Amino acid sequence: MKKRVTIFGGGTGMSYLLRGLKDFPIDITAVITVSDNGRSTGKLRKEFHTPAVGDIRKVITNLSGMDPMIKEMLEYRFQTSSDLDGHSLGNLILTALLNITGSLEESIKELSKLLDVKHTVLPISEDSSLTLMGKTIDGEIIEGEEQITKSHKKFERIYYKEEPNIKEELIEKIENSDLIIFSMGSLYTSILPNIICKKVKEALDKSKAPIMYLCNAMTQPGETDNFSVSDHVKLLNQYLNKRKIDVVIASNSHIDKEVAKKYEIEEQKDPVIIDRENLKKLNIELIDGDFLTLIDGTIRHNSLKLSSAIFSYLMRD
């Protein structure tokens, strides 16, 4: 029987992970946030009163076994002077399926069948009005995922305007997992939107699976300035109930000085430092390695190396 892995995250970070992990002999359930209110997704949510579909599209595309041209077509964004401007074809297809089936979960299943996806993709909720909220350390209330990202501020608390409705299938997946992963990605808008749900935290408490965090390679401006690996872990643990993170995977890759300088100047981002002693104090197992690669001048995780480390951890018992 294949090992069962449940992964929480958003679109970009999880997509890079799944490109490699999908080819390993494991059973993956990818759980995706649906509170994005920006760009194409935001327009579609406003017009059709749907949950956010953009991150779901990215994950399905990267899990697909179809020809690369089909994937490229789904990711294609229209550039025009009409109302189509900025919309990706995959977002439009998912929205059409949602209108036909009346269910985001069913829409995902239908698109997954069409694109030869062998694994399970689940939205954290099917609520169409799910709104992410943030209270900054100076008391300001910011409404909306896009607004939280653009604020570049530190937050005292991330929460939903209303408690999300969580389907039983997701709870069962969590409780029956052999490994639970919090993917790399924005802590505030990709990871926390999944684990601030009351029922998800309760299911994590019931699960016997280790909880693994794939630490970001770079800090996020305003949100995680000067954060070390242990600082990322501490923040996530603050939002969890009894169960806390057991193991963290972090990259010790050498980052070229010129590349690091470019990130610092242009994006106000710095490499995340591995603070081994602090992780030991937290009783966190550290798996570190050369997990980064440079793609067109952009630092990305090497999906195959990262996936291999995850699979090795999963299979060692």
Backbone angles phi, psi at 211, to 5 degrees: -105, 120
Q: 3-state DSSP call for residue 171?
A: helix
Radius of gyration of the chain measured on its C-alpha atoms: 19
- Here the tokens at position 317 are 């018992």
The mean pLDDT values, 10 residues at a time, for the chain of 317 residues are 94 89 97 93 92 94 92 93 93 96 95 96 95 96 95 94 96 98 95 96 97 96 94 98 98 93 94 97 97 90 96 90
**E strand segments, 96-230:** 120-123, 132-136, 141-143, 155-160, 179-182, 211-214
Region label for 304, one of left (φ > 0), alpha (ψ between -120 and 50) or beta (otherwise)? alpha
Query: Residue 229: what pLDDT?
Result: 98
The answer to whether 120 and 29 are in contact (CB under 8 A) is yes
CB atoms under 10 Å from CB of 178, counted, come to: 19
All domains in the chain, ordered by first residue: 3-27+145-315 (3.40.50.10680), 34-123 (no CATH)
Task: Look at the pTM and tell me if it is higher than 0.85.
Answer: yes
The answer to whether 219 and 227 are in contact (CB under 8 A) is yes
Q: 3-state DSSP call for residue 303?
A: helix
The answer to whether 193 and 187 are in contact (CB under 8 A) is no
